[in-house]
Structure 1
Amino acid sequence: MKHSLYVALLVAASLLSYAFVLPAYAAIEPAEHQQHQHHYYCPMHPEVTSATPGSCPKCGMFLITKEPDTAEPETEHKQHTDAHMPPAAQKIFEQPIASLESVVDPSVNSKTPLQTTKYICPMHPHVVSDEPGNCPICGMNLEKVAVAEPHQDVVVGVSGGMQQALGMRSHVVTKSSLSRQVNTIGTVQYNENSIGHVHTRATGWIETLTVHNVGQQVKKGQLLYELYSPELVNAQDDYTQALDYLKQDKQRGRVLLSKARKRLALLGVDEEVIHRLEKTGETIYRVPFYAPQSGFISELTIRHGMYIQPGDTLFEIVNLDSVWVIADVFENEQSWLTEGRKVSVSAAAQGLFDIDSNIDYIYPELDPVTRAMRVRIKLNNMQDKLRPGTLVDVTLYGQPKQDVLTVPTEALILTGRENRVVVQRSDTSFASVPVKIGMMAQGKAEVLDGLNEHDKVVVSGQFLLDSEASIQGSLQRLSGVGKQTNTDAHQH
């Protein structure tokens, strides 16, 4: 009896548990099923989901499948991003990727003459159609684009408000003078034309030496050394004998006196020594020799008591009243440099700036290692501040060109194959045109072809306009084969 009662209680408990558990499972199952039913979403608008295949109601793109476990994080991230994004930015990101309505004013393009209308897929630009529809590849709505005729410039319209937002600036093409210039480094060197060498023309011994070290300053006419030379003594005796013979035979004496005087001069005897010999008639055994120019001693090879002979270099005297600056110019800048062109030299360490001079000489050979050409500049040394070996800044100016069309270099769009600028046709229309560029210097570029005087070129914000013009230019090239391209896309 007890056993039957125990079994009955177990059966009743089991029935009660099923009564409570089954409704809970019934409530949970629809929620799980609801989570797994949205298997399709739009690639351009991830918040658009569906349980069945179809097209996005916003852009018309085909819905694609997704994994259930990755759908929820993406949706949460999208909602979190949208919550912190400004309304203006949300509006921009909600537009199709190829829509340029925020930059390009469609009303301006529509008013441009000689334009046709094409429809293009933002995701597949090669899909071009003459009528609105959907892309056969991805299903997106085709965007309407105005295309100019092939022989017309591609004109892009930008509203005034958008021009202010992009910070667009324009510059008027004018004629001006333009000259090339190159900045380089130069080295100060001796003026080789002002280097003087002191040699002896007779053998003898140094009796008195007044110069004792290299770098010593000397002045013109200053005593350098005294020389005892038997040859000079004999030449003086011959001169005094000619003076005596002149008293006996004036005609014959004049000839002998002229020859004796010339001999002393050729041996290097100073004119003052000869005059002294004429007045006193006494032989000078220690013949003095004087500095031929002012400067400083750069080379000294003798000492007191040394024996010297012709051919020996006794002194080297350098005058620093003028110096040379040797500057290196690279190979691509050599063609427009000529002798006599203007040069500006600055030595900031010495407090010298913008010293004007000219190109004195262009050396004919190039450096075999650096492929550089040497240019020589002659400068007047102001207060002897420029010393040999000093590095200076050199600016070389080329031949200027007068009355040439110039534009700022910042207006150029350099692609490697061609140069382009964006020209402002009217207040709200712009066109990208190719130009041929010549000389570029001083922040300006010479325009050889493609622009006229008084044209307006964009110097800020032109790259976005050039990109839009390139897209429309591509549509021009595709417009002739639009039907064939569209047919191929359908086949794909």
Structure 2
Amino acid sequence: MNRAILMSLVVAALAAAVGAGFTGGRVLHGTSVMSFTTAAASETTTAPIYYRDPDGKPFYSLTPKRAEDGRAYRPVPPAADVSFDDPAHEKTKVEPPDAKVGKHKIKYYRNPMGMPDRSPTPKKDSMGMDYIPVYEGEDAADGSVKLSPGKIQRTGVQSERAAPRVIRTLIRAPGTIQLDERRISVISMRTESWVQKVMNVTTGSAVKKGQPLMEIYSSAISSAAADYISTINLSIPASMERYGRGSRQRLMNLDVPDAAIVAMEKSRMVPIAIEWSAPRDGIVLERNAIEGMRAQPGDVLFRVADTSLVWAMVDIAERDLGAVRVGQRVIAKARSFPERAFSGKISVIYPQVNRETRTARVRVELSNPDLALLPDMYVDAEIDTGNPAPVLAIPESAVLDTGARQSVLVDKGEGRFEPREVKLGQRGNGYVEVREGLHDGEPVVVSANFLIDAESNMKAALKGFSEAGSQP
């Protein structure tokens, strides 16, 4: 009889024994040991349940049998503690499963559905679910929760120590390029004038300060110039002091360029047309001057802007406004030049929030030496709001946020976890600053913490139910 057939016979014998009132039987993992215990001491005198090889070999029989050498198989009574392995293997005794778990004993069994019901012995609820054992030390008064090593391994609990870290927080926001309004010049006439000539300058042309733009004739300017020339032609110094300064001021009040006034002083002649020049280096944004046209006071003939320094108008979300400060460094990247980074600083935070977009506008000054940034161009800005000084920080995954409060689970060792409320600060790079509630080096749970928190809450509720039920 081979081993498989004999093992089948043994299983059949065990089933027959259970039907006759036999209880007990624990099978260790593998083929190491099987132990059988009787349900009562009175059954120790019952008939053997099977017969085994006299030498301890893995041969069995349900009826009396003899080996090849003529020796009879040994009867195995229900109370025997028999090893099914080779005789060289030692027998192993297994304690009842509810005797001990690790170093802690079972105190009671709780309802699996969270009802305030306890039992000193194993039992099932109305749906057939087993009551859950509660071990010594699991229902600690400090609110901590105790998990077995097996449960910790199955749930994947991991911890990380709180430590000083530098938290770098980047706020990303879109923006557009605008001209620096302090670097825009408008050329307009202060008296009725006629455009005699326009130089070869068009919209978009780059001009230098003092470069001629047009020639203007104005009777008011010519009259003021003649008065000034006549004054400086007088040889009496007192007249020059008394009248010359006032005559020159008339020309300046008419916004005649300084270069044209100096040319009059040198030539001592009144020109027919006055040459108008660019007031600054920049780009011609607007040209309305046309040869022969009549210009009324206030008409804009040219508009010139210096674009070597521009503004980035960035829209910051309302929730990020508390982290933004004047002077913070900003990196802007134009969508036209994604490989380039333009550096600047926040100069102004506008005191108004857009009611539709819930954003506030900040102004960033950007250097634009090669004039690559153009007005109304889109940019993506990154604002570094981090603190260069290290702060006590933990991973963001360790925080249990209920909205009203934030807490973490502190790993106290030996499977015990203590919930603790904390006060948090800035966030960045996957970490969050802890301002109150933790000390440097304390380990906190960073994974499976929601499962531990759920079990802790359930135990607290059960304890509350039990205390309420015990009151008269």
TM-score, normalised via structure 2 length: 0.70
Quote the residue 1:444 is aligned against.
Answer: 431
Mapped contact 2:422–2:438 kept (Cα < 8 A): no
- The amino acid that maps onto 2:123 is N
Select which of 382, 404, 408 maps to 2:395. Answer: 408
Q: Is the CA contact 2:170–2:386 (under 8 Å) kept in the aligned structure 1?
A: no
The answer on 1:118 being equivalent to 2:104 is no
Given the alignment, which residue of 356, 359, 369 partners 1:369?
356
State the match for 1:221 in structure 2. 210
Q: CA deviation at 1:130?
A: 4.8
Which residue is 2:280 aligned to?
Answer: 293
1:490 is matched with none
The aligned counterpart of 1:254 is 241
Q: Percent of aligned positions with the same letter in both sequences?
A: 26
Q: 1:156 aligns with which of 138, 146, 156?
A: 146
Q: What are structure 2's unaligned runs of at least 5 residues? A: 1-24, 27-96
Given candidates 299, 316, 326, the residue that maps to 1:329 is: 316
Whole-angstrom distance in 1 between the partners of 2:398 and 2:125: 41
User: Relative to structure 1, is the Cα distance of residues 406 and 281 closer, same or farther in structure 2, using a 3 angstrom cutoff?
Assistant: same
Structure 2 Cα separation of the partners of residues 350 and 140 of structure 1: 66
The structure 2 residue matched to 1:107, chosen from 102, 112, 118, is: 102
Question: Is contact 2:114–2:458 with CA below 8 Å preserved after alignment?
Answer: no
- CA separation in 2, counterparts of 1:211 and 1:367? 44
Quick one: distance in 2 between partners of 1:418 and 1:277?
A: 79
Structure 1 pair 136/294, CA: closer, same or farther in 2 (3 Å)?
closer
Matches within 5 A, 1:122-201: 122=112, 124-135=113-124, 137-138=126-127, 141-146=130-135, 148-149=138-139, 151-159=141-149, 166-178=155-167, 180-201=169-190
Check whether the contact 2:138–2:147 (CA below 8 A) recurs between aligned residues. no
Contact 2:342 2:367 in 1 (8 A): no
- Count of residue pairs the alignment pairs up: 374
- Amino acid in the other structure paired with 1:243: I
Match of 1:225, SS?
A: strand
Query: 1:164 Cα shift?
Result: 5.6
Query: Is 2:110–2:117's contact at 8 Å kept on the other side of the alignment?
Result: yes
Kindly indicate whether the alpha-carbon contact (under 8 Å) linking 1:420 and 1:433 is maintained by their aligned counterparts in 2: yes
1:288 deviates by: 0.5
Q: Which structure has greater helix proportion?
A: 1
Write the distance in 1 (CA, Å) between the matches of 2:116 and 2:127: 11
Question: Is the CA contact 1:420–1:432 (under 8 Å) kept in the aligned structure 2?
Answer: no
Query: Superposed, which structure 2 residues align to 1:466-485 within 5 Å?
Result: 466-481=453-468
Q: Kindly tell me: are residues 312 and 373 of structure 1, through their superposed partners in 2, closer, same or farther at Cα, counting changes over 3 Å?
A: same
Structure 1 contact 148–476 (Cα < 8 Å) conserved: no
- Answer whether contact 2:191 2:297 (CA < 8 A) is retained: yes
3-state SS in 2 of match to 1:350: coil
Alpha carbons of structure 1 residues 477 and 300: separation in structure 2 relative to 1, 3 Å = same
CA RMSD of superposed structures (Å): 3.2
- Report the residue type matching 1:262 in the other structure: Q
Q: Distance in 2 between matches of 1:184 and 1:258?
A: 55
CA drift of 1:125 comes to 3.0
1:143 Cα deviation after fit: 3.2
- Residue by residue over 1:287-336, the C-alpha shift from the partner in whole angstroms, topping out at 9 and shown as x without a partner, is 11100011112222221100113222111111101111111122233234
Q: Structure 1 CA distance, aligned partners of 2:219 and 2:288?
A: 22
CA distance in 1, matches of 2:258, 2:435: 68
Letter in 2 for 1:126: M
Q: Is the 8 A contact 1:210 1:224 kept in 2?
A: yes
CA-CA distance at 1:138 after TM superposition: 4.3
Contact 1:342 1:358 in 2 (8 A): yes
* Alignment partner, residue 377 of structure 2: 390
Contact preservation (8 Å) 2:349, 2:361: yes
Deviations 1:58-93 (A, max 9, x none): 9xxxxxxxxxxxxxxxxxxxxxxxxxxxxxxxxxxx
Q: Give runs of aligned pairs for residues 72-87 of structure 1, distance below 5 A.
A: none
Taking the aligned partners of 1:418 and 1:237, their CA distance within structure 2 comes to: 82
Question: What letter matches 2:164 in structure 1?
Answer: K
Alignment gaps of 5+ in structure 1: 1-56, 59-100, 486-492
**How far off is 1:219 after superposition?**
1.6
Q: TM-score, normalised by structure 1?
A: 0.68
Contact preservation (8 Å) 1:324, 1:378: yes
Please give the alpha-carbon distance, in whole angstroms, between the structure 2 residues aligned to 1:307 and 1:142: 101
Out of 380, 397, 421, the position equivalent to 1:435 is 421
SS at match of 2:370: helix
**In 1, Cα distance between the equivalents of 2:154 and 2:141?**
32
Q: 8 Å contact 1:361–1:377 — kept in the other structure? A: yes
Per-residue deviation, 1:194: 0.6
Contact 1:176/1:404, CA 8 A, preserved across alignment:
yes
Aligned to 2:444: 457
Tell me the distance in 2 between the aligned counterparts of 1:216 and 1:178.
47
Equivalent residue, structure 1, for 2:192: 203
- After superposition, the C-alpha distances for 1:163-215 in whole angstroms (9 at most, x for unaligned) are 56654432110133446542211111111111111112332211110155322
Alignment partner, residue 270 of structure 1: 257
For residues 356 and 406 of structure 1, the distance between their equivalents in structure 2, rounded to whole angstroms, comes to: 29
- The 1-side partners of 2:260 and 2:131 are apart by 109
Deviations 1:74-120 (CA, angstroms, capped at 9, x unpaired): xxxxxxxxxxxxxxxxxxxxxxxxxxx9xxx9426x28xxxx82212
In 2, the alpha carbon distance for the partners of 1:225 and 1:386 equals 29
CA distance in 2, matches of 1:441, 1:380: 30
Judged with a 3 Å threshold, the aligned counterparts in structure 2 of structure 1 residues 382 and 228 are, in CA distance, closer, same or farther, namely closer
Partner of 1:379: 366
Query: 2:102 aligns to what SS in structure 1?
Result: helix
